[in-house]
Structure formats: C-alpha cells, structure tokens
Amino acid sequence: MLVTGGNRGIGLAIARAFAEAGDKVAVTYRSGEPPEGFLGVKCDITEPEQVEQAYKEIEEKQGAVEVLVANAGVTRDQLLLRMSEEDFTSVVDTNLTGTYRVVKRASRAMLRARKGRIVLISSVVGLMGQAGQANYAASKAGLVGFARSLSRELGSRNITCNVVSPGFVDTDMTRALTDEQRADIVKQVPLGRYATAEEVASSVRFLASDEAAYITGAVIPVDGGLGMGH
C-alpha cells in the first residue's frame, strides 16, 4: 500500500496503522529522511515524472499498489481579495490535481488486477467552507466529486473509492494556528477536542479492509461532530 505524504502527521499515522497490521507500506516524502520502517520514495506530487518514478520504484520493490491513500496536502490561507493566483493554483495543484496524478497511476494496476482500494483525505472544510481557505476548501470539495466519479467508473472492477473527511487534527498543519483560533475551533466541536492522527488512520484502515467491501463513493466524517448535516 502507498500513503502520499506519509512521512509526518496524519499520513505517518496511517502508514503506521497499516504496517502494524502487517501490510507492506510505501510512503512518499519530499525532503530529509524518510521515516523508518517503510519504503520511502521521494516524490513531489505536483511533478508528474516524480509520480511515475515513485510508482516504478514501489512496483519493483513491493509489487503493485493495492491500497492507495492520497493524503498529501497543503494550505495557503488568505482572504479572497489578498489571495494571489499562485496561492490558489498551487493549493489546487497539490491537493486536487496531485491526487488525480497519483490515483490515475495507481488505477492502472488496480484495473488489471480487478481489485483495489482508494482513500482520499479531504477535510470538513471542503463541505462547510472556511473564511481564509477558499483555495483549500475548493480543492477538498473537488475531491468528493472526483471520488464519486471514480466510484462509478471503477466499481465494476471491484475498486472502491472513498473519502475520509477529518475535522481538526493535532498536526503541524493545525499547530500553525494561534491559541485563540484553536480555542475557537474546539468550542464548535461537539466532542470538545481535536482528533488524534490515529483516529483518522483507523477509519482509513476500515475502508481498506474486507469489512468495507461494499462501501464506495462515501464521505466518512472524522470530525468530532463539527460538520454534522454536511
């Protein structure tokens, strides 16, 4: 299995959960050292050649990817009037187009094998919206339409495609928020706290398991109740 952005945060927790269950795990990383215990492949998902190279390396060393978790993502928050074209397109290029690149490449072998599991990591913000995150929310909402289209395209080949939609999770991404912003967020969450990355990972594991064989095109919220009704 492959987790993009599996070198830290939610992606690392997902990689660990699969490795603990005995799966062969590959993770992408962009700089520094890959985390121990997995096959680390260097890959920036905004670069099509690097995506191709990463898959070649994984296929050589671990065989075809049967479970893909498209987790890599970025934020570049700014209010609309101050949001540059580059702020917008770079977030969409990573979160949405980058996901297209890795899913498309994985689907080749999955179609041949007539089985596969694809899980995309979206966000509660994709459906609720968030001031200052129009670029991020658009990219994350886009993943839902993308996944649902693929569910229809790939379902007859026994390939499922689902979305996990976390609320606020304690990682580097949210550590960038001020204490005041964090306190405001927690007030709106029925469960009154942030999620741990492991709590997101367990839903991803479920969607890749035999027990979830009949679930496709679903959006699973892991958000402490924040997005209820969406």
Residue 7 counted as an annotated binding residue: yes
CB of 30 to ligand NDP, least distance (A): 3
Rank residues 22 and 229 by Cβ distance to ligand NDP and give the closer one. Answer: 229
Nearer to ligand NDP, 78 or 113 (CB): 78
Tell whether 138 is in a known binding site.
yes
Question: Cβ closer to ligand NDP: 64 or 74?
Answer: 74
Annotated binding residue 5: yes
Cα separation of 69 and 121, whole Å?
Answer: 7
Single-letter code of the amino acid located at 119: V
CB 90 within 8 A of CB 38: no
- Strand, helix or coil for residue 163: strand
CB of 128 to ligand NDP, least distance (A): 11
The reply to whether 137 sits in an annotated binding site is yes
Among 29, 136, 194, 214, the active-site one is: 136
Query: Residues interacting with ligand NDP, by CB under 6 A?
Result: 4-5, 7-11, 28-31, 43-46, 71-74, 94, 98, 121, 123, 166, 168-169, 171-174
Name every residue whose Cβ is closer than 8 Å to that of residue 178 and which is 6 or more positions away in sequence: none
CB 79 within 8 A of CB 132: yes
Closest separation in Å from C-beta 113 to ligand NDP: 25
Tally of helices (H runs) and strands (E runs) in the chain: 9, 7
* Three-class secondary structure of residue 199 per DSSP: helix
Find the shortest distance in angstroms from Cβ 158 to ligand NDP. Answer: 26
| Annotated binding residue 140 | yes
Residue 136 annotated to the active site: yes
Q: 71 vs 107, which CB is nearer to ligand NDP?
A: 71
* Contact partners, residue 226, CB within 8 Å, separation at least 6: 124, 128, 167, 168, 188, 189, 190
Return the active site residues: 136
Going by the annotation, the residues of the binding site are: 5-8, 71, 136-140
